[in-house]
A and B are shown apart, each in its own frame.
Chain A
Amino acid sequence: MECWLSSPEALAPKGIKFVFLCSHEPKDIFFIEDLHEHASLISEFMSRTLGVGDLKVVFSDNEVIGSDYILYSYKVFHGGDYVGTCRFVAYCNKLIKSLCTISSGIVFERS
């Protein structure tokens, strides 16, 4: 898995400070459970990169895009506060990309 961290100016009006964009080898997704390990990996990666200890990535819902894509949406929590969103993109039931956003409203205490 390769991830890039950015702070796009275009998302500032929405209060988004950080974007993590990750690409990885396609992985079969047939059940929400198939994404649990991936969610944990993303959570650990973001926590480590941002220097915080306890980001949690929790499944929220999913939606179809076109007829072949499904977006699996997750909420990101920090110490119980909702601080961001992850969207995992599956094409024909294969996970191909992950994108997480972290709010600018949260001030992280460096651990």
Chain B
Amino acid sequence: MRGPDSLPPGQRAVPNFIIYRILGQPEVDINSWRLRVLGDVSKPLTYAYEDLLKIVDTSYVSDFHCVTGWSVRGVVWEGVSLRKLVMEAQPLKGVEWVYVRSLDKYTTVIPYEDFLDERGILALRINGRPLSLEQGFPARIFIPHLYGWKSAKWVAEIIFTKEYKDGYWEALGYHSRGNVWREERFK
């Protein structure tokens, strides 16, 4: 039974985020940084950081779950709903995957139907502050029901696609979806 305060199977609460930077800490020049939304879409988009700040539409509290087994409870997330980006870009019929590429060349792949989750967010702020560099400034994906490796930090490109392609951890055997409640850790 899944109660409002329950953790997903196999998770334990910890007091704060554990920071991973598997490909190192990228340098971020916020003046030149752009988020590109592209791939199989009707309308490719490019956003500067200031553009995103103007369209912030979502704020909520949700736990964060790392596939290694730790969870941080009650994180305040604020940013742009992924649905808003989808509505703007208008993905083509047949799109099934969203491939995310970060400044550090990290990649991950998210099923399109999960990307459309009503709480999916391009987070710009955590716990009332802009993202720190370590937490993925200027923007990171967050989808509450997916493990943290899908929450790519330092996002540079969101690519809608009909074809599946492994991202970094998926190429190392991790699950193509990564639903925390179904404990989809490995393929």
Verify A10–B185 contact, CB threshold 8 A.
no
Interface Cβ pair total, 8 Å cutoff: 60
Which residues in A have their C-beta under 8 angstroms from that of B105? Answer: 13
B10, B168, B183: the one contacting A11 at CB < 8 Å is B168
- Those of B142-187 within 8 Å (CB) of chain A: 165-168, 170-173, 183, 185-187
Interface assignment of A80: CB less than 8 Å from any CB of chain B: no
- Those of A65-102 within 8 Å (CB) of chain B: 65-69, 87, 89, 96-97, 99, 101
Interface assignment of B23: CB less than 8 Å from any CB of chain A: yes
A11, A68, A89, A97: the one contacting B171 at CB < 8 Å is A11
Q: How many residues on chain B are close to A (CB under 8 Å)?
A: 25
Which residues in B have their C-beta under 8 angstroms from that of A19? Answer: 171-172
A68-B10 CB under 8 A given contacts A19-B172, A21-B173, A89-B173: yes
A9, A13, A21: the one contacting B104 at CB < 8 Å is A13
Verify A65–B67 contact, CB threshold 8 A.
yes
A69-B166 CB under 8 A given contacts A19-B171, A99-B172: no
Give the Cβ gap from B120 to chain A, nearest Cβ, in Å.
21
Which residues in A have their C-beta under 8 angstroms from that of B12? Answer: 67
What are the nearest 8 A-B pairs in CB distance?
A: A66-B10, A8-B171, A13-B105, A67-B10, A99-B173, A66-B69, A10-B171, A10-B107
